[in-house]
Chain A
C-alpha cells in the first residue's frame, strides 16, 4: 500500500466487521519526537487474548473464505520499516485500538495520501457508524464526526454526491490546516 490512508481504510474495515458503531481515527504529529502516531479505535466486539496474539500473523484471519489475513501485518511492516512501531490492544465486547507509529521524516514513511476520501467514503458506506477523525499538531486540532454531519443533514444521506464533495473539501482543509508544512508531502 502506497498511502497511510489506505492502511487506515483497511484497519477500519476490520472495525466494521467487528460490528462497531463508532470508529475514531486520531493522527498526531510530534515534531520533537519526529513521530506520526495514528490510532484507530472502535467499540466493536473486541478480541480475546488468544485471537489478539495471533492477528499480526499473516496466516490468521476470522474469514471463512480464506486462511490468510494481510491487513494488520501489512500496516505493521509499513511502520517497522519506517522506524516506527505497531500495537493492538483489545477487550472482548468493549473494543479494539490499533496504534501505528511512523518516524515522520523517515525515507520509507508512506505519504498520508487521500485521507479525506477514505473518511468520506467510509462515512457514505456505513451510515450507521459514527466515523470520527481527529488531527493534532502542537496546539492545533481538527475534529470531524460523521454522526454530527448526519444529524445536520437529516434525511439527506451521507452518500449524496454534493455531500461527499463538500465533506472531502472540508476534511482536506482540516488536513492542510493542521499538517501543512508539518508533513513534507502537504504544503503549508
Chain B
C-alpha cells in the first residue's frame, strides 16, 4: 500500500526542476468541465492532455478545468493560453485531437486551425 509520505520524495525530486521553470510563464490548457462538457467527453480529453504532456515531459504546461465556456453545442471545448497571453479556442475535441494540439500547437507553435472555434463557426454557415 502506498503512503502519503512518498510525496515527500516526489517533492525533493521535482523541486529543482520547478525552480528553473519559475522564471518563464508557461502555456496554460483549460478544459471546460461543466455538465455540458462532462457529458460530451471532456474527461477523456483532459486525461489525454495530461498524459501527452507528461510523456513529452512538458512540465511547464499546466492543464486545469473550468466551468461552462458558453457554447455547449461545441463541447468538449479547450482553451489554450499562450505564454504571450493570447488564446486559442478548440472545439469538439477528443483524445486524438488533444494529442494533435500538443504536438502541433504546444510543441511546435502551429495552431491547429481546422479545430478552432472559428473553423467550426465558418463550417456552420
Check B54 against A156 for contact (C-beta < 8 Å): no
Partner among B5, B35, B59, B65 whose Cβ is within 8 Å of the Cβ of A69: B35
Q: Within residues 40 to 66 of chain B, which ones have a CB less than 8 A from any CB in chain A?
A: 43, 46-47, 50, 53-54, 59, 62-66
- Please tell me if A34 contacts chain B, counting CB pairs below 8 Å: no
Partner among A6, A17, A69, A162 whose Cβ is within 8 Å of the Cβ of B14: A162
Q: Which residues of B contact A165 (CB under 8 A)?
A: 54
Give chain A's interface residue range (CB within 8 Å of chain B).
35 or more
* Chain A nearest Cβ from B102, distance in angstroms: 13
Q: Within residues 65 to 82 of chain A, which ones have a CB less than 8 A from any CB in chain B?
A: 65-66, 69-71, 74
Task: Using known A-B contacts A159-B62, A160-B59, determine if residue A1 contacts B7 with beta carbons closer than 8 Å.
Answer: no
**A46-54, A91-99, A169-177, A179-187 - interface stretch:** A169-177
Check B18 against A13 for contact (C-beta < 8 Å): no
* Chain B nearest Cβ from A121, distance in angstroms: 6
Task: Using known A-B contacts A156-B14, A161-B59, determine if residue A71 contacts B35 with beta carbons closer than 8 Å.
Answer: yes
Taken together as a complex, chains A and B put the C-alpha atoms of A169 and B39 apart, in Å, by: 25
Check A1 against B38 for contact (C-beta < 8 Å): yes
Check B38 against A152 for contact (C-beta < 8 Å): no
Check B64 against A125 for contact (C-beta < 8 Å): yes
* Chain A nearest Cβ from B3, distance in angstroms: 8
* Chain B nearest Cβ from A110, distance in angstroms: 13
A contacts with B: majority SS: helix
Check A156 against B70 for contact (C-beta < 8 Å): no
* Chain A nearest Cβ from B72, distance in angstroms: 8
Check A170 against B4 for contact (C-beta < 8 Å): yes
Check B38 against A161 for contact (C-beta < 8 Å): no
Check A152 against B53 for contact (C-beta < 8 Å): no
Q: Which of B2, B7, B15, B64 has the most CB of A within 10 A?
A: B7
Interfacial residues, chain B to chain A (CB-CB below 8 A): 1-2, 4-8, 10-11, 13-15, 18, 33-36, 38-39, 43, 46-47, 50, 53-54, 59, 62-68, 70, 72
7 contacts between A and B (CB under 8 A): A13-B67, A118-B43, A125-B33, A152-B8, A160-B59, A162-B13, A163-B10
* List of 6 A-B pairs having minimum Cβ-Cβ separation, nearest first: A161-B54, A152-B7, A125-B64, A71-B35, A125-B65, A170-B2
Since A13-B67, A70-B36, A160-B10 are in contact, a sample of 8 more A-B pairs with Cβ atoms closer than 8 Å, ordered by chain A residue number, is: A6-B38, A13-B34, A63-B68, A149-B7, A152-B4, A161-B53, A166-B7, A173-B2
